[in-house]
Amino acid sequence: MRSSSVLLLPHLNPITTSIRPRNLALHKLSPSLKGFRVAAVENKPSPSPLGSKSEPPKTLGADGEVDYVEGGVGEGGGGGGGVDLGWLPAFPHALTASMANFLFGYHIGVMNGPIENIARELGFEGNSFLEGLVVSIFIVGAFIGSISSASLIDKFGCKRTLQIDTIPLILGALISAQAHSLDEMLWGRFLAGLGIGVNTVLVPLYISEVAPTKYRGSLGTLCQIGTCLGIIASLALGIPSESDPHWWRTMLYTACVPGLIIMLGMQFAVESPRWLCKVGRLDDARKVVGRLWGMSEVEKSIEEIKSVVENDGAESSWLDLLEEPHKRVAFIGGSLFLLQQFAGINGVLYFSSLTFQDVGISSSALASLFVGITNLGGALVASYLMDKQGRKKLLIGSYLGMVYFHICLRRWASYRYYNTRAEQCPYTFKDHGF
Protein backbone atom coordinates (compact mmCIF):
# COMPACT_ATOMS: atom_id res chain seq x y z
CA MET A 1 0.00 0.00 0.00
CA ARG A 2 1.36 3.41 -0.91
CA SER A 3 1.94 5.76 1.99
CA SER A 4 0.37 9.15 2.30
CA SER A 5 0.86 12.17 4.47
CA VAL A 6 -2.21 12.78 6.59
CA LEU A 7 -3.52 15.92 8.23
CA LEU A 8 -6.30 15.62 10.80
CA LEU A 9 -8.49 18.68 10.51
CA PRO A 10 -11.68 19.35 12.50
CA HIS A 11 -13.28 21.13 9.51
CA LEU A 12 -15.88 20.19 6.96
CA ASN A 13 -13.68 21.24 4.05
CA PRO A 14 -10.14 19.92 3.84
CA ILE A 15 -7.22 22.22 3.12
CA THR A 16 -3.81 21.62 1.69
CA THR A 17 -0.55 22.74 3.25
CA SER A 18 3.08 22.87 2.32
CA ILE A 19 4.15 21.43 5.70
CA ARG A 20 4.92 17.73 5.52
CA PRO A 21 3.57 15.72 8.45
CA ARG A 22 4.90 12.34 9.34
CA ASN A 23 3.95 9.43 7.13
CA LEU A 24 1.22 7.18 8.47
CA ALA A 25 0.13 3.82 7.17
CA LEU A 26 -3.55 4.20 6.35
CA HIS A 27 -5.47 1.03 7.03
CA LYS A 28 -8.53 1.95 9.04
CA LEU A 29 -9.34 5.06 10.91
CA SER A 30 -9.80 4.77 14.61
CA PRO A 31 -13.41 5.28 15.78
CA SER A 32 -12.18 8.30 17.69
CA LEU A 33 -11.27 9.97 14.39
CA LYS A 34 -14.61 9.47 12.65
CA GLY A 35 -15.70 13.02 13.34
CA PHE A 36 -12.72 14.45 11.49
CA ARG A 37 -12.14 15.07 7.81
CA VAL A 38 -8.69 14.11 6.61
CA ALA A 39 -6.76 15.75 3.82
CA ALA A 40 -4.40 13.28 2.21
CA VAL A 41 -1.52 14.55 0.11
CA GLU A 42 0.52 11.97 -1.75
CA ASN A 43 4.28 11.84 -1.22
CA LYS A 44 5.12 12.68 -4.81
CA PRO A 45 7.32 15.53 -6.02
CA SER A 46 5.37 18.65 -6.85
CA PRO A 47 4.81 19.05 -10.58
CA SER A 48 6.63 21.75 -12.47
CA PRO A 49 4.78 25.09 -12.51
CA LEU A 50 5.05 24.94 -16.29
CA GLY A 51 3.66 21.45 -16.47
CA SER A 52 0.22 20.14 -17.05
CA LYS A 53 -2.81 20.38 -14.80
CA SER A 54 -2.00 19.51 -11.20
CA GLU A 55 -3.94 16.84 -9.34
CA PRO A 56 -6.70 18.16 -7.10
CA PRO A 57 -6.50 17.61 -3.36
CA LYS A 58 -8.02 14.46 -1.90
CA THR A 59 -10.10 13.78 1.19
CA LEU A 60 -10.30 10.62 3.20
CA GLY A 61 -13.61 10.02 4.96
CA ALA A 62 -14.53 7.74 7.81
CA ASP A 63 -15.10 4.87 5.38
CA GLY A 64 -11.44 4.91 4.42
CA GLU A 65 -12.16 5.89 0.80
CA VAL A 66 -10.08 8.58 -0.88
CA ASP A 67 -12.18 11.22 -2.64
CA TYR A 68 -11.17 14.12 -4.88
CA VAL A 69 -12.29 17.58 -3.91
CA GLU A 70 -13.48 20.14 -6.45
CA GLY A 71 -12.03 23.60 -6.32
CA GLY A 72 -8.50 22.53 -5.51
CA VAL A 73 -5.33 23.91 -6.97
CA GLY A 74 -5.42 23.09 -10.63
CA GLU A 75 -4.79 24.64 -13.98
CA GLY A 76 -5.60 28.25 -14.00
CA GLY A 77 -4.60 28.86 -10.43
CA GLY A 78 -7.77 27.48 -8.90
CA GLY A 79 -7.60 26.91 -5.16
CA GLY A 80 -6.03 29.50 -2.94
CA GLY A 81 -6.86 32.31 -5.38
CA GLY A 82 -3.79 31.67 -7.54
CA VAL A 83 -3.34 33.44 -10.86
CA ASP A 84 -2.96 31.54 -14.12
CA LEU A 85 0.27 32.73 -15.71
CA GLY A 86 0.69 30.02 -18.30
CA TRP A 87 0.46 32.65 -21.05
CA LEU A 88 3.30 34.77 -19.68
CA PRO A 89 6.38 33.02 -21.19
CA ALA A 90 5.00 33.41 -24.72
CA PHE A 91 3.60 36.91 -24.23
CA PRO A 92 6.78 38.98 -24.90
CA HIS A 93 7.38 37.13 -28.17
CA ALA A 94 3.77 37.52 -29.30
CA LEU A 95 3.76 41.19 -28.27
CA THR A 96 6.91 41.94 -30.26
CA ALA A 97 5.49 40.26 -33.36
CA SER A 98 2.18 42.10 -32.97
CA MET A 99 4.02 45.40 -33.44
CA ALA A 100 3.77 44.54 -37.14
CA ASN A 101 -0.02 44.71 -36.79
CA PHE A 102 0.35 48.04 -35.03
CA LEU A 103 2.24 49.26 -38.08
CA PHE A 104 -0.50 47.85 -40.33
CA GLY A 105 -3.11 49.88 -38.46
CA TYR A 106 -0.87 52.94 -38.54
CA HIS A 107 -0.58 52.81 -42.33
CA ILE A 108 -4.35 52.33 -42.62
CA GLY A 109 -5.02 55.62 -40.84
CA VAL A 110 -1.95 57.67 -41.70
CA MET A 111 -3.48 59.12 -44.89
CA ASN A 112 -6.89 59.75 -43.36
CA GLY A 113 -6.32 63.27 -42.08
CA PRO A 114 -3.57 64.80 -44.24
CA ILE A 115 -4.54 63.47 -47.70
CA GLU A 116 -5.72 66.91 -48.87
CA ASN A 117 -2.48 68.55 -47.67
CA ILE A 118 -0.47 65.86 -49.48
CA ALA A 119 -2.47 66.37 -52.67
CA ARG A 120 -2.00 70.14 -52.46
CA GLU A 121 1.77 69.89 -51.93
CA LEU A 122 2.40 67.18 -54.54
CA GLY A 123 0.24 68.80 -57.21
CA PHE A 124 -2.90 66.66 -57.54
CA GLU A 125 -5.31 68.65 -55.37
CA GLY A 126 -8.94 68.11 -56.27
CA ASN A 127 -8.26 64.90 -58.19
CA SER A 128 -10.24 62.36 -56.20
CA PHE A 129 -8.98 59.48 -58.35
CA LEU A 130 -5.32 60.19 -57.53
CA GLU A 131 -6.16 60.77 -53.88
CA GLY A 132 -7.80 57.36 -53.81
CA LEU A 133 -4.84 55.84 -55.66
CA VAL A 134 -2.36 57.11 -53.06
CA VAL A 135 -4.43 55.40 -50.39
CA SER A 136 -5.26 52.18 -52.23
CA ILE A 137 -1.83 51.45 -53.76
CA PHE A 138 -0.90 50.39 -50.25
CA ILE A 139 -3.50 47.59 -50.45
CA VAL A 140 -2.19 46.50 -53.86
CA GLY A 141 1.26 46.05 -52.34
CA ALA A 142 -0.24 44.21 -49.38
CA PHE A 143 -1.99 41.76 -51.71
CA ILE A 144 1.25 40.93 -53.52
CA GLY A 145 3.13 40.62 -50.23
CA SER A 146 0.56 38.27 -48.73
CA ILE A 147 0.69 35.75 -51.60
CA SER A 148 4.51 35.70 -51.52
CA SER A 149 4.80 35.24 -47.75
CA ALA A 150 4.60 31.43 -47.68
CA SER A 151 7.84 30.91 -49.62
CA LEU A 152 9.70 33.40 -47.42
CA ILE A 153 8.48 31.74 -44.21
CA ASP A 154 9.43 28.25 -45.42
CA LYS A 155 12.92 29.42 -46.38
CA PHE A 156 13.87 31.74 -43.52
CA GLY A 157 11.46 30.93 -40.69
CA CYS A 158 9.05 33.28 -38.95
CA LYS A 159 11.66 35.11 -36.87
CA ARG A 160 14.04 35.99 -39.70
CA THR A 161 11.21 36.78 -42.12
CA LEU A 162 9.80 39.32 -39.66
CA GLN A 163 13.21 40.98 -39.46
CA ILE A 164 13.77 40.95 -43.23
CA ASP A 165 10.29 42.31 -43.77
CA THR A 166 11.11 45.48 -41.88
CA ILE A 167 13.30 46.57 -44.82
CA PRO A 168 10.40 47.46 -47.19
CA LEU A 169 8.43 48.81 -44.22
CA ILE A 170 11.14 51.28 -43.21
CA LEU A 171 12.20 52.06 -46.78
CA GLY A 172 8.61 52.69 -47.85
CA ALA A 173 7.99 55.03 -44.92
CA LEU A 174 11.17 57.00 -45.69
CA ILE A 175 10.39 57.36 -49.40
CA SER A 176 6.85 58.50 -48.62
CA ALA A 177 8.01 61.00 -46.00
CA GLN A 178 10.56 62.54 -48.38
CA ALA A 179 8.32 62.46 -51.45
CA HIS A 180 8.25 65.54 -53.68
CA SER A 181 6.17 64.02 -56.47
CA LEU A 182 3.18 61.75 -56.89
CA ASP A 183 5.38 58.92 -58.24
CA GLU A 184 7.60 58.93 -55.16
CA MET A 185 4.59 58.83 -52.87
CA LEU A 186 3.09 55.92 -54.80
CA TRP A 187 6.33 53.92 -54.68
CA GLY A 188 6.71 54.53 -50.96
CA ARG A 189 3.15 53.46 -50.22
CA PHE A 190 3.53 50.39 -52.43
CA LEU A 191 6.71 49.25 -50.64
CA ALA A 192 5.08 49.71 -47.24
CA GLY A 193 2.15 47.65 -48.49
CA LEU A 194 4.47 44.83 -49.58
CA GLY A 195 5.87 44.57 -46.06
CA ILE A 196 2.45 44.77 -44.45
CA GLY A 197 1.10 42.03 -46.74
CA VAL A 198 3.76 39.59 -45.58
CA ASN A 199 3.05 40.43 -41.96
CA THR A 200 -0.70 39.92 -42.21
CA VAL A 201 0.01 36.25 -42.91
CA LEU A 202 3.14 35.87 -40.82
CA VAL A 203 2.19 37.37 -37.46
CA PRO A 204 -0.95 35.30 -36.74
CA LEU A 205 0.97 32.20 -37.84
CA TYR A 206 3.92 32.97 -35.56
CA ILE A 207 1.72 33.69 -32.53
CA SER A 208 -0.27 30.48 -33.03
CA GLU A 209 2.96 28.46 -33.19
CA VAL A 210 4.67 29.90 -30.10
CA ALA A 211 1.58 30.21 -27.88
CA PRO A 212 0.47 27.26 -25.70
CA THR A 213 -2.68 25.66 -27.07
CA LYS A 214 -4.84 26.92 -24.20
CA TYR A 215 -3.85 30.54 -24.81
CA ARG A 216 -3.76 30.75 -28.60
CA GLY A 217 -7.12 32.46 -28.77
CA SER A 218 -6.23 35.07 -26.14
CA LEU A 219 -2.74 35.79 -27.47
CA GLY A 220 -4.09 35.77 -31.02
CA THR A 221 -6.24 38.81 -30.22
CA LEU A 222 -3.01 40.81 -29.96
CA CYS A 223 -3.11 40.98 -33.77
CA GLN A 224 -6.44 42.81 -33.93
CA ILE A 225 -5.73 44.89 -30.84
CA GLY A 226 -2.39 45.93 -32.34
CA THR A 227 -4.10 46.95 -35.58
CA CYS A 228 -6.70 49.00 -33.70
CA LEU A 229 -4.04 50.73 -31.60
CA GLY A 230 -2.09 51.56 -34.76
CA ILE A 231 -5.19 53.14 -36.31
CA ILE A 232 -5.79 55.18 -33.17
CA ALA A 233 -2.15 56.31 -33.07
CA SER A 234 -2.20 57.53 -36.67
CA LEU A 235 -5.56 59.28 -36.28
CA ALA A 236 -4.43 60.98 -33.07
CA LEU A 237 -1.16 62.00 -34.67
CA GLY A 238 -3.11 63.39 -37.63
CA ILE A 239 -4.96 66.03 -35.58
CA PRO A 240 -2.14 68.64 -35.95
CA SER A 241 -2.38 68.27 -39.75
CA GLU A 242 -5.50 70.47 -39.64
CA SER A 243 -3.29 73.44 -38.77
CA ASP A 244 0.11 72.37 -40.15
CA PRO A 245 0.05 71.52 -43.88
CA HIS A 246 3.47 69.84 -43.72
CA TRP A 247 2.75 67.66 -40.67
CA TRP A 248 2.16 64.61 -42.86
CA ARG A 249 5.92 64.20 -43.35
CA THR A 250 6.39 63.83 -39.59
CA MET A 251 3.61 61.25 -39.51
CA LEU A 252 5.29 59.15 -42.20
CA TYR A 253 8.73 59.43 -40.60
CA THR A 254 7.15 58.14 -37.38
CA ALA A 255 6.16 54.95 -39.22
CA CYS A 256 9.85 53.96 -39.22
CA VAL A 257 9.90 53.56 -35.43
CA PRO A 258 7.73 50.41 -35.14
CA GLY A 259 9.78 48.84 -37.94
CA LEU A 260 13.00 49.39 -35.99
CA ILE A 261 11.38 47.97 -32.84
CA ILE A 262 10.39 44.82 -34.73
CA MET A 263 13.84 44.40 -36.26
CA LEU A 264 15.62 44.68 -32.91
CA GLY A 265 12.98 42.99 -30.76
CA MET A 266 12.75 39.84 -32.87
CA GLN A 267 16.47 39.32 -32.32
CA PHE A 268 15.57 38.29 -28.76
CA ALA A 269 12.43 36.34 -29.71
CA VAL A 270 12.26 32.58 -30.19
CA GLU A 271 11.87 30.86 -33.52
CA SER A 272 8.72 28.93 -34.36
CA PRO A 273 9.07 25.34 -33.05
CA ARG A 274 7.19 24.06 -36.11
CA TRP A 275 9.75 25.58 -38.47
CA LEU A 276 12.61 24.27 -36.33
CA CYS A 277 11.17 20.76 -36.59
CA LYS A 278 10.66 21.18 -40.32
CA VAL A 279 14.34 21.98 -40.92
CA GLY A 280 15.52 19.20 -38.60
CA ARG A 281 16.56 21.31 -35.59
CA LEU A 282 14.73 19.12 -33.08
CA ASP A 283 16.93 20.00 -30.10
CA ASP A 284 16.28 23.70 -30.63
CA ALA A 285 12.56 23.00 -30.99
CA ARG A 286 12.56 21.10 -27.67
CA LYS A 287 14.26 24.04 -25.96
CA VAL A 288 11.65 26.48 -27.29
CA VAL A 289 8.72 24.26 -26.29
CA GLY A 290 10.17 23.66 -22.83
CA ARG A 291 10.77 27.36 -22.33
CA LEU A 292 7.32 28.50 -23.46
CA TRP A 293 4.99 25.56 -22.77
CA GLY A 294 6.70 23.70 -19.90
CA MET A 295 9.09 20.78 -19.78
CA SER A 296 6.27 18.29 -19.24
CA GLU A 297 4.86 19.21 -22.67
CA VAL A 298 8.07 18.77 -24.65
CA GLU A 299 7.92 15.23 -25.99
CA LYS A 300 4.18 15.18 -26.59
CA SER A 301 4.25 18.54 -28.37
CA ILE A 302 7.27 17.68 -30.49
CA GLU A 303 5.59 14.49 -31.70
CA GLU A 304 2.46 16.44 -32.62
CA ILE A 305 4.50 19.08 -34.46
CA LYS A 306 6.43 16.40 -36.35
CA SER A 307 3.15 14.84 -37.42
CA VAL A 308 1.88 18.20 -38.68
CA VAL A 309 5.14 18.84 -40.56
CA GLU A 310 4.90 15.44 -42.25
CA ASN A 311 1.35 16.21 -43.36
CA ASP A 312 2.50 19.60 -44.67
CA GLY A 313 4.80 17.80 -47.06
CA ALA A 314 1.99 15.75 -48.58
CA GLU A 315 0.74 16.44 -52.09
CA SER A 316 -2.02 19.06 -52.06
CA SER A 317 -3.49 21.82 -54.19
CA TRP A 318 -5.80 24.79 -53.84
CA LEU A 319 -8.56 22.73 -55.42
CA ASP A 320 -8.59 20.55 -52.30
CA LEU A 321 -10.31 23.43 -50.53
CA LEU A 322 -13.31 22.90 -52.79
CA GLU A 323 -13.74 19.31 -51.66
CA GLU A 324 -15.04 17.81 -48.44
CA PRO A 325 -14.27 18.11 -45.57
CA HIS A 326 -12.66 21.50 -46.34
CA LYS A 327 -15.29 23.01 -48.64
CA ARG A 328 -17.73 24.27 -46.01
CA VAL A 329 -15.05 25.69 -43.71
CA ALA A 330 -13.24 27.42 -46.58
CA PHE A 331 -16.48 28.92 -47.88
CA ILE A 332 -17.62 30.24 -44.49
CA GLY A 333 -14.20 31.59 -43.51
CA GLY A 334 -13.60 33.24 -46.87
CA SER A 335 -17.09 34.72 -46.97
CA LEU A 336 -16.67 36.28 -43.53
CA PHE A 337 -13.54 38.13 -44.63
CA LEU A 338 -14.98 39.11 -48.00
CA LEU A 339 -18.30 40.38 -46.67
CA GLN A 340 -16.56 42.31 -43.91
CA GLN A 341 -14.73 44.34 -46.55
CA PHE A 342 -17.95 44.95 -48.50
CA ALA A 343 -19.54 46.28 -45.31
CA GLY A 344 -17.52 49.46 -45.89
CA ILE A 345 -15.18 49.51 -42.90
CA ASN A 346 -12.14 50.26 -45.07
CA GLY A 347 -13.82 53.30 -46.58
CA VAL A 348 -14.57 54.57 -43.09
CA LEU A 349 -11.03 54.06 -41.81
CA TYR A 350 -9.31 55.46 -44.91
CA PHE A 351 -11.56 58.44 -45.65
CA SER A 352 -13.52 59.23 -42.47
CA SER A 353 -11.92 62.69 -42.18
CA LEU A 354 -13.18 63.69 -45.63
CA THR A 355 -16.60 62.25 -44.83
CA PHE A 356 -16.91 64.16 -41.56
CA GLN A 357 -15.68 67.30 -43.29
CA ASP A 358 -18.35 66.97 -45.98
CA VAL A 359 -21.15 66.71 -43.41
CA GLY A 360 -19.94 69.85 -41.62
CA ILE A 361 -18.12 68.52 -38.55
CA SER A 362 -15.61 71.17 -37.47
CA SER A 363 -12.78 68.84 -36.37
CA SER A 364 -12.88 65.91 -38.77
CA ALA A 365 -9.58 64.51 -37.47
CA LEU A 366 -10.88 64.41 -33.90
CA ALA A 367 -14.11 62.76 -35.06
CA SER A 368 -12.04 60.14 -36.90
CA LEU A 369 -10.13 59.46 -33.70
CA PHE A 370 -13.38 58.48 -32.01
CA VAL A 371 -14.01 56.05 -34.87
CA GLY A 372 -10.67 54.40 -34.11
CA ILE A 373 -11.43 54.24 -30.38
CA THR A 374 -14.77 52.57 -31.14
CA ASN A 375 -12.96 50.06 -33.33
CA LEU A 376 -10.61 49.23 -30.44
CA GLY A 377 -13.55 48.87 -28.06
CA GLY A 378 -15.07 46.22 -30.30
CA ALA A 379 -11.79 44.29 -30.40
CA LEU A 380 -11.45 44.36 -26.60
CA VAL A 381 -15.02 43.15 -26.11
CA ALA A 382 -14.41 40.32 -28.56
CA SER A 383 -11.17 39.27 -26.87
CA TYR A 384 -12.92 39.16 -23.49
CA LEU A 385 -16.02 37.26 -24.65
CA MET A 386 -14.42 35.01 -27.25
CA ASP A 387 -13.71 32.06 -24.97
CA LYS A 388 -16.82 32.66 -22.83
CA GLN A 389 -19.54 33.04 -25.47
CA GLY A 390 -17.92 31.32 -28.42
CA ARG A 391 -17.00 32.63 -31.85
CA LYS A 392 -20.32 31.89 -33.54
CA LYS A 393 -22.46 34.01 -31.22
CA LEU A 394 -20.06 36.95 -31.48
CA LEU A 395 -19.99 36.75 -35.27
CA ILE A 396 -23.77 36.65 -35.55
CA GLY A 397 -24.17 39.50 -33.06
CA SER A 398 -21.57 41.70 -34.73
CA TYR A 399 -23.01 41.23 -38.22
CA LEU A 400 -26.54 41.96 -36.99
CA GLY A 401 -25.17 45.11 -35.37
CA MET A 402 -23.56 46.14 -38.66
CA VAL A 403 -26.87 45.67 -40.48
CA TYR A 404 -28.74 47.76 -37.92
CA PHE A 405 -26.30 50.68 -37.98
CA HIS A 406 -26.11 50.64 -41.77
CA ILE A 407 -29.88 51.11 -41.80
CA CYS A 408 -29.52 53.98 -39.32
CA LEU A 409 -26.86 55.64 -41.49
CA ARG A 410 -29.01 55.25 -44.58
CA ARG A 411 -32.03 56.84 -42.90
CA TRP A 412 -29.91 59.68 -41.54
CA ALA A 413 -28.33 60.33 -44.94
CA SER A 414 -31.76 60.40 -46.61
CA TYR A 415 -33.10 62.78 -43.97
CA ARG A 416 -30.14 65.11 -44.42
CA TYR A 417 -30.39 64.95 -48.21
CA TYR A 418 -34.07 65.89 -48.36
CA ASN A 419 -33.67 68.64 -45.80
CA THR A 420 -30.76 70.13 -47.74
CA ARG A 421 -32.71 70.01 -50.98
CA ALA A 422 -35.71 71.57 -49.25
CA GLU A 423 -33.57 74.52 -48.16
CA GLN A 424 -32.20 74.94 -51.68
CA CYS A 425 -35.57 74.53 -53.47
CA PRO A 426 -38.25 75.60 -50.99
CA TYR A 427 -41.13 75.62 -53.47
CA THR A 428 -40.45 72.22 -55.01
CA PHE A 429 -40.19 70.33 -51.72
CA LYS A 430 -42.08 72.24 -49.06
CA ASP A 431 -45.15 72.91 -51.15
CA HIS A 432 -45.42 69.22 -51.99
CA GLY A 433 -45.19 67.99 -48.43
CA PHE A 434 -41.52 66.92 -48.21
**Is residue 376 in a domain?**
yes
CATH number of the structural domain spanning residue 210: 1.20.1250.20
> Quick one: 104 and 53 in the same domain?
no
Number of domains in the chain: 2
> Quick one: 135 and 251 in the same domain?
yes
**Is residue 379 in a domain?**
yes
> Quick one: 109 and 56 in the same domain?
no
Domain region containing 203:
91-269+351-387
Encode pLDDT of 305-319 as tens digits: 988 887 776 666 777
Confidence of residue 254 (pLDDT cuts 50, 70, 90): very high
> Quick one: 56 and 109 in the same domain?
no
Task: Tell whether pTM > 0.85.
Answer: no
Q: What mean pLDDT do residues 104-112 have?
A: 93
Q: How far apart are CA 17 and CA 7, in angstroms?
A: 9
Encode pLDDT of 9-46 as tens digits: 334 443 333 334 433 343 444 444 444 444 444 444 44
Residues 172, 190 contacting (CB under 8 angstroms): yes
**Is residue 399 in a domain?**
no
Closest CA to 137 of 201, 195, 192: 192
> Quick one: 55 and 179 in the same domain?
no
> Quick one: 175 and 248 in the same domain?
yes
> Quick one: 136 and 65 in the same domain?
no
